[in-house]
């Protein structure tokens, strides 16, 4: 039986929750999305993303891959999730073209799929995946943001980036154009690893070490998620907060 917890919260400053989440323990698949675009459009985009992932998964069942060699296995999953994201991207663009009130809407998305001792992750935008193992936390994804580009170029430090006025300016998202490219990752996992998916409403308020301390303090993952959201709100709750935490 898979151990998983999840929670989404509007935060302290926003009137609406434009985040969305997907929890499918039967399929070992989990996702979060953070909509942008104002009015109700962000919520439409993020819901379209998670609903689209679930619909794609059910219409295109994942093959048994345990007999595939490593690189073929990774390439198969990469192709699978790229097709999934491309369909969702096209669907969001189609809605925007058809309904002027949704023009400009977009969404981040991060998906984690577990296949035995392998973890496959695909992301676009600044929603993140982390892994906590033996009391240490590692960020598994790369933020697609203007500020992160500056960090990678050596123009900003990580601590400076946390308080930069443009830290929430994303450079890639579903629904922006017809050729948006997500990133794909593969990791080996171990029993009792904890995987966290979250929107920037969490990691924008808490440091990685603070996130780690909350994840490792409790056995019950629903309690973990509740405590993560509370900590982000206590810090200011400047954005919607969504978390999914699952133990391998």
pLDDT of 40: 64
> Quick one: average pLDDT of 4-9?
98
Q: What pLDDT, on a 0 to 100 scale, did the predictor assign at position 38?
A: 61
How confident is residue 149, by pLDDT bands cut at 50, 70 and 90?
Answer: confident
**Higher-scoring residue by pLDDT: 213, 178:** 213
pLDDT (tens digit, 9 = 90+) per residue, 100-123? 989 889 999 999 999 888 999 999
User: Where does the pLDDT of residue 94 fall: very low under 50, low under 70, confident under 90, or very high at 90 and above?
Assistant: very high
CA–CA dist 124, 35 (Å, integer): 12
Mean pLDDT of 184-190: 95
The predicted model gives 123-129 an average pLDDT of 97
Distance CA 117, CA 187 (A): 9
Contact call for residues 28 and 111 (beta carbons, < 8 A): no
Round to whole Å and give the CA distance between 246 and 243. Answer: 10
Confidence band, pLDDT 50/70/90 cuts, at residue 143: very high
Show the tokens assigned to 241: 């907060």
Report pLDDT digits (tens) over 49-77.
999 999 999 999 987 766 777 788 899 99
**Sign of the CA dihedral 110, 217, 231, 147?**
negative
Specify the residue for token string 């926003």.
Answer: 14
How many Å apart are CA 204 and CA 189, to the nearest integer?
A: 26
pLDDT computed for residue 128 by the predictor: 98
Q: Which domains does the chain have, with CATH numbers?
A: 3-247 (3.60.40.10)
Q: Give me 110's structure tokens.
A: 């991060």
Closest to 215 (Cα-Cα) out of 144, 137, 149: 137
Q: Which residue has the higher pLDDT, 71 or 238?
A: 238
How far is the C-alpha of 93 from the C-alpha of 111, rounded, in Å? 20
The 3-state secondary structure of the chain reads CCEEEEEEECCCCCCCCCEEEEEEHHHCEEEEEEEECCCCHHHHHHHHHHHHHHHHHHHCCCCCCCCCCHHHHHHHHHHHHHHHHHHHHHHHHHHHHHCHHHCCCEEEEEEEEEECCEEEEEEECCCEEEEEECCEEEECCCCCEHHHHHHHCCCCCHHHHHCCCCCCCECCCECCCCCCCCEEEEEECCCCCEEEEECHHHHCCCCHHHHHHHHHHCCCHHHHHHHHHHHHHHCCCCCCEEEEEEEC
């Amino acid at each position: 039986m898979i151990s998983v917890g999840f929670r989404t919260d509007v935060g302290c400053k926003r009137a609406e929750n434009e985040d969305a989440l997907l929890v499918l323990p039967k399929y070992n698949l989990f996702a979060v999305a953070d909509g942008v675009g104002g009015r109700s459009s962000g919520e439409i985009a993020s819901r379209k993303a998670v609903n689209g992932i679930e619909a794609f998964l059910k219409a295109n069942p994942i093959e048994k891959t345990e007999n595939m060699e490593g690189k073929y296995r990774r390439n198969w999953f990469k192709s699978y999730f790229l097709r999934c994201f491309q369909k969702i991207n096209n669907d969001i663009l189609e809605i925007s073209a058809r309904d002027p009130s949704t023009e400009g809407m977009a969404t981040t998305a991060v998906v984690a799929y577990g296949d035995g001792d392998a973890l496959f992750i695909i992301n676009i935008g600044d929603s993140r995946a982390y892994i906590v193992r033996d009391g240490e936390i590692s960020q598994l994804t790369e933020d697609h943001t203007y500020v992160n580009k500056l960090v990678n170029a050596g123009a900003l430090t990580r601590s400076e980036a946390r308080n930069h006025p443009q830290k929430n300016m994303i450079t890639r998202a579903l629904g922006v154009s017809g050729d948006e490219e997500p990133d794909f990752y593969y990791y080996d996992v171990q029993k009792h690893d904890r995987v966290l998916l979250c929107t920037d409403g969490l990691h924008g308020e808490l440091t990685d070490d603070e996130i780690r301390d909350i994840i490792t303090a409790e056995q019950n993952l629903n309690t973990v998620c509740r405590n993560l959201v509370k900590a982000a709100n206590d810090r200011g709750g400047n954005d919607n907060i969504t978390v999914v935490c699952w133990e391998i």
